[in-house]
Structure 1
Amino acid sequence: MSKAAEIDIVSVSKIYGSTTAVHEISLKIPAGTYCCLLGPSGCGKTSTLRMIAGHESISTGDIRLGNSVITDLPPARRGTAMMFQSYALFPHLDLVDNVAFSLKMKGVEKDERRAKAMDMLRLMQLEAYATRRPAQLSGGQQQRVALARALITDPEALLLDEPLSALDPFLKIRMRAELKKLQTSLGITFVHVTHSQEEAMALADIIVIMNDGRIEQAAHPRVVFEKPATAFVAKFMGDHNVISGRVTKSEGDELMISVPAGGDFLAIGAEAAGLTDTADIAVRTDHVRVAPAAEKGLGFTGSVSNVEYRGSSVKLTVNGAGVEDFTAILSDKDFFANPVKVGDAIPLSWEREDALVLGRLKH
């Protein structure tokens, strides 16, 4: 396998007519990392991937792979390989010829390309199926053929467009483990588009969260989980409650916000400096307790609107103090030691370090 290469996206935009799909994004993906582009439909993640691959032209900006500017190169000369969502296998060819197809297009001699294709099938544990056609394989096997076909060109970066979306939930989890193992053993850069938070958290060294053609945050999964950069990230990842209000007090890295017709809430964070008008704060859902607050701004009393049993945990939804659909994730042990039901009024609270001031994107 060839060495991995860093991907450097420099002020790249994609404009279709009067619509800007990607707004001047800049991103460095270190060599040999597993990077997931994550976000809702229409956020620009697939356009970004297709621009790296060369299947979509770049309106402004540049993309570098290693030391080369690849902005204007055709896909076959970029040192990248793309695996499509539909797998796009040839139904009339056996697995060896499917995998060897790109080498055939490059004029590689038959014996050599078939030998290399067999090596790739061996890597994917599919050598026993070499003479079969795609229709005789399961979804997971077809996916491994598509991977083998993409990797046979020795790419410096493999680009994957929602590769797991067609698989059933159990197979998804198994293929996730296989993709991670494959990326680690090959050591090349993987860029993977997904709209599944769980998939991105499980796979990525770097998660790039996109919204409306912009990057909201690019960081290690743990950083995204523990310190979401913006209200969008906090809501999209689903691990934090977001409370928005008017700043009533701001001192150093600490501020108090007041929610319209509701309570006052305290939060800390470097983003607090300079916020005088409105602010968003995030509270970790799994750090909320059913107990009165120890100090002002670290809790409220509300009415339970939903109780969802999840096995090892129980999800409570609570409304009150001007805050709607506030989520608390309790362990099953804590919940059943003191169960509550819909309609009950309960106090919720959290620790000082569990309420963060969120940043805002500068447009």
Structure 2
Amino acid sequence: MSKAAEIDIVSVSKVYGATTAVHSISLKIPAGSYCCFLGPSGCGKTSTLRMIAGHESISSGDIRLGNAVVTDFPPAKRGTAMMFQSYALFPHLDLIDNVAFSLKMKGVDKEERRTRALQMLTLMQMDAYATRRPAQLSGGQQQRVALARALITDPEALLLDEPLSALDPFLKIRMRAELKKLQKSLGITFVHVTHSQEEAMALADLIVIMNDGKIEQAATPRKVFEEPATAFVARFMGDHNVLSGRVVSSQNGVTTLEAPEGQAFSVRGNGKQVGESVDIGVRTDRVRLDASADNTLGLNGIVSNIEYRGASVKITVVGAGSDDFTVIANDGDYFAKPVSVGDAVSLSWALEDAILLGHA
């Protein structure tokens, strides 16, 4: 296998007519890492992947793969391979010819390309199906063939556009483990676009969260979970509640803000001016269903929804300007003191479970 390459995206923009899909983003993806681009539809993640692959022209900026600036290279000259969401297999060819197709285009002789194709199918545990056609395979099997076809070119980076979206939930989880194992054994850089937070958290060494053509945060899964950089990341990842207000005091390392409804909230952090508008994030799994002695570390509200999830219970509360303040309670704690939709509740949390959020 060729060695993995670092991917360096330098001030890259993509403009379609009057629309800017990607706004001057810069990012280093370390060699040999598993990087997931994550974000809502239309945030620019697939445009970015296609620009790395060379399937989309770059309006401004540069992309470097290893030591080479590949901005103007055609896809075949970049050292990358792309696996498309649709798998794009040729229906009239058997699996060996599907996998060997790019080698055929490069003029590799039939014997060698068939040998290498079979090696790739063996790596994907698909060698027993070598003479079948794509229509005779399940979705998960087609995906393995598409992976084999992408990897036969010996790329330095494999680019995956929502590769698991067509699979059923159980197969998704199985294929997720397969992808992670494959990336570790090959040691090459994987760049994977998804809109699933769970998928990105399970797979990535580096998560890049995009919104509206910009990067909101690029960090390890743990950092994104524990320290979301912005209110958008906190909301999108779903593990922090966001409360907004204006700073009323900032002293001794604690900032206090007042929400429009008049309630005050405290958070660790300095450097904010009185009157400045700020957002704070509160971990959903650290909120308790009881009142706090300190009324700046909690809120009162009305229960609007309850979802039982087995090991945990998700309770949604309306209050303090939030119509979906979320509490993730341990099932034992919840059933020892259950609440019902419509109940008035007092919630609380510890000072260290609230964080000051930045702005992208």
The match for 1:343 is 342
Q: 1:31-57 deviations in whole A, cap 9, x for unaligned?
A: 000000000000000000000000000
2-structure distance, mates of 1:325, 1:135:
45
Checking the alignment, whether the CA contact within 8 Å between 1:8 and 1:63 is kept in structure 2 is: yes
Structure 2 counterpart of 1:235: 235
Structure 2 residue aligned with 1:298: 297
State the distance in 2 between where 1:175 and 1:189 align. 18
Does the 8 Å contact 1:266/1:296 carry over to 2? Answer: no
Query: Moved runs in structure 1, 4+ residues, more than 3 A?
Result: none
1:96-111 equivalences in 2 (<5 Å): 96-111=96-111
Whole-angstrom distance in 2 between the partners of 1:184 and 1:323 = 42
The RMSD of aligned alpha carbons is 0.9
1:185 aligns with 2:178: no
- Whether the 8 Å contact between 1:252 and 1:273 is mirrored in structure 2 is no
Report the Cα offset of residue 253 of structure 1: 4.0
> What SS does the corresponding residue of 1:300 show, helix, strand or coil?
strand
Alignment-derived partner of residue 201 in structure 1 = 201
- Name the structure 2 match of 1:30: 30
- Give SS of 2:28's match: strand
Secondary structure of residue in 2 paired with 1:15: strand
**Cα 1:14–1:56 shift into 2, 3 Å:** same
Distance 1:252 1:159 in 2: 48
Pairing partner for 1:274 from 252, 262, 272? 272
Distance 1:294 1:118 in 2: 68
Give 5+ residue unaligned stretches, structure 2. Answer: none
Alpha-carbon distance in structure 2 between the residues aligned to 1:253 and 1:358: 15
> What is the CA distance between 1:252 and its match in structure 2?
5.6
Look up the equivalent residue of 1:333 and give its one-letter code.
Answer: G
Worse-matched range after superposition: 317-326 or 103-112: 317-326
Contact 2:305 2:341 in 1 (8 A): yes
The structure-2 alpha-carbon separation of the partners of 1:262 and 1:342, relative to structure 1 and needing over 3 Å to count, comes to farther
Mean Cα deviation higher: 288-297 or 9-18 = 288-297
5+ residue gaps, structure 1: none
Is residue 319 of structure 1 aligned with residue 318 of structure 2?
yes
**Residue equivalent to 1:79:** 79
**What is the match of residue 94 of structure 1?**
94
Match of 1:171 in 2: 171
**Aligned partners of 2:255 and 2:272 also within 8 Å:** no
Task: Provide, for residues 225-249 of structure 1, a one-character-per-residue CA deviation record: whole Å limited to 9, x for no partner.
Answer: 0000000000000000000111111
**Distance in 1 separating the partners of 2:202 and 2:173:** 9
AA in 1 matched with 2:68: S
SS in 2 for 1:43: coil
User: Is 1:21–1:213's contact at 8 Å kept on the other side of the alignment?
Assistant: yes
How far 1:288 sits from its partner (Å)? 0.3
Q: State the TM-score, normalizing by the size of structure 2.
A: 0.98
User: Aligned letter for 2:171?
Assistant: L
Which stretch has the larger CA shift, 296-305 or 86-95?
A: 296-305
Percent identical across equivalent pairs?
76
